Structure 1
Amino acid sequence: MKETGFERHVRACNNAVLPGERVPFHIGDASVGWVTVPVAEALRDFPAVRRTGLRVTLTDPVALPAIGRVLADRGFCRWRGELFDVYERPDLPPVAQIDRGAIPAFGIRASGIHVNGLVQRANGLHVWVARRASDKLLDPGKLDHIVAGGVPSGLGPLETLVKEAAEEAGIPPDLAQHAIPVATIGYAMERPEGLRRDWLYCYDLMLPEDFVPQPTDGEVAGFELWPIGRTLEAVRDTNDFKFNVNLVMIDLFIRQGLIAGPEAERLRAAL
């Protein structure tokens, strides 16, 4: 069966083969990630890490941020200066913290929020589309959601949404808090920065017709309000959107009935 333009995005975001050539990474008894053989070899230098058979285990969770910094200095990952919590599963308490830039090198699952900024007009539903700044570390210049970002240590998804909404788009908290959770989407993807195992908390936020988002922190170059049909065509026919935004948009199109029948069933099962 011929793949559609939508299916190629789902396939691209799930291109990781695990374990493949990676080694399981544990913190104590908790299985939290996957590391390449070169990273596993580099971890031999740290007293808090032991190699047992095919497993790499960190015995002291407190040591993880410092280990990530050393690996960044050695070129295995970037240093972002922002701590994220490390979980075995999203429903369990965190077992450690790690710098955001080191997450792909360890294959650790990260959480993020994505917001569909929606406006209902007389001529149909519209979607606010952001363009990422040209100096972003990842995917500069790509199209993005009105609000999206990783969930940092100590915050939950909704708290992150409210924070990012104010910082990225100038959306006041009393408006951002009306966002409605609509889906959770997971994937495992090989990327230039490493293994991305992300869990996305997806929201719809209906915005007033007279509200115009404003880039406030420099991460977004600008915003445009598109008819949802134009957004669908861009996702289906181009690679203009950041890779994971496509998945959240596909979920939106299914829920709006713009993708239906067997195609919608296949996509929903794959998301």
Structure 2
Amino acid sequence: MIDSTLLPFIQHIKACKSANLPGKYIPLSYHEKIIGWIAPQYSSFLTQLGYLQSGTGFHITSGHQLLSLSNNLAELNAYKPHNELFDVRAQKDVVIGQVDRGAIPILGLNAEGIHLNGLVKQGDKLMLWVAKRSMNKRLDPGKLDHLVAGGMSTGLTPNLTVLKEAQEEAGIPPELAQQAKHVSTLHYALERPEGLRRDLLHCYDLILPESFTPIAEDGEVESFSLLPIQDVFQIVKNTNDFKFNVNLVLIDLFIRHNLFNSKEKATLSNLLNE
């Protein structure tokens, strides 16, 4: 039997891994490889744009079709454009085209992003910088978030995305941000109001000096708080105050810093990586 104290953490993980694929979704294929999953409510848009649905779903023959498809979907008001392009991969490290970021969940495409744990050591205490998202954010306004987190725009690598987002979101200079260490890679798939999220998160730890104070340079953060990691643990355990995917990265952090016993760590690690 699972200890009841572990259940909230399990629920956070399962909530992020709740998509049932293929389920109701219609595959979107590129040269016989499935790259996306179309929800039934969006299939009519593709049909309207001339993409014929066969017994095996929708198909594209060229990666160049993806950008025009995302632009056309925006013109049909299927989603509101972000005016930021993301790469689409048919397999790891093989980019076939680009789409507007807002079209990714509409088409059920994989997306990649980075999350950075901004850590401060105060004697024998470990502190974590926590951001509160602006109420003007399109997604999850007012939720708690990492010090730095963001999607991986076209042409960028995870490391370059860390440098970019660290400067924009928290005013962390490149010479400090480049000290961030990659610690894990997490994945999930779930249905959200914006569509199907199938994300790969590259997770980083960065030890910051006690003298550092973050500055929200791009206006996406309302405020920052420096909290003991044990306090953050209790927030994750007892609330849904953090943005949904931040919980996964924090649970991974708690595992690595021994806030669970060995049996609990094994249970949560298996769920995170399944």
Query: Which interval holds the TM-score relative to the shorter structure?
Result: over 0.9
Q: 2: CA distance between counterparts of 1:39 and 1:139?
A: 23
- What does residue 248 of structure 1 align with? 249
Deviation readout 1:104-149 (Å, 9 max, x if unpaired) = 0110010000000000001400000001001000000000000000
Residue 229 of structure 1 pairs with residue 244 of structure 2 = no
Q: Which runs of 5+ in 1 are unaligned?
A: none
- CA shift, 1:58, in A, is 1.3
The residue that corresponds to 2:106 in the other structure is 105
Shift of 1:55: 1.6
Cα distance in 1 for partners of 2:93, 2:30 equals 14
Which residue, 18, 30, 33 being the options, matches 2:33? 30
Conserved? CA contact 1:27–1:95, under 8 Å = no
Matched, 1:191 2:198: no
Stretches of structure 2 that go unaligned for 5 or more consecutive residues are none
- State the distance in 2 between where 1:260 and 1:72 align: 48
In the alignment, which of 66, 80, 88 is matched to residue 78 of structure 1? 80
Match status 1:124 vs 2:153: no
Count of aligned positions: 269
Stretches (4+) displaced over 3 A:
none
Give the structure 2 partner of residue 134 of structure 1.
135
Q: Shift of residue 27 of structure 1?
A: 2.3
Supply the AA of the counterpart residue of 1:266.
T
* CA-CA distance at 1:186 after TM superposition: 0.2
**SS of match in other structure, 2:227:** strand
Distance 2:48 2:135 in 1: 37
Question: What's the CA shift for 1:85?
Answer: 0.4
TM-score normalized by the length of structure 2? 0.95
Is the Cα contact below 8 Å between 1:50 and 1:59 reproduced in 2?
Answer: no
Residue in structure 1 matched with residue 209 of structure 2 by the alignment:
208
Equivalent in the alignment of 2:21: 18
* Matched residue type, 2:36: G
SS of the equivalent of 1:201 reads strand
How far apart are residue 66 of structure 1 and its match? Answer: 2.3
Deviations 1:203-249 (Å, cap 9, x if unpaired)? 00000011111111100111110000000000111000000000000
Q: Which has the higher mean CA deviation after the structures are superposed, 196-205 or 259-268?
A: 259-268
Give the partner amino acid of 1:10: I
Q: How is 1:140-151 mapped onto 2 (pairs within 5 angstroms)?
A: 140-151=141-152
Which SS does the other structure have where 1:4 is aligned? helix
CA RMSD of aligned residues (A): 1.3
Q: Could you tell me which amino acid in structure 1 is paired with residue 106 of structure 2?
A: A
Q: Deviations over 1:39-92 (max 9, x none)?
A: 223212334x34221321012321222221222233322211000001123x23
Moved more, 95-104 or 32-41: 32-41
Q: Contact between 2:45 and 2:76, CA under 8 Å: does it hold in 1?
A: no
TM-score w.r.t. the length of structure 1 is 0.96
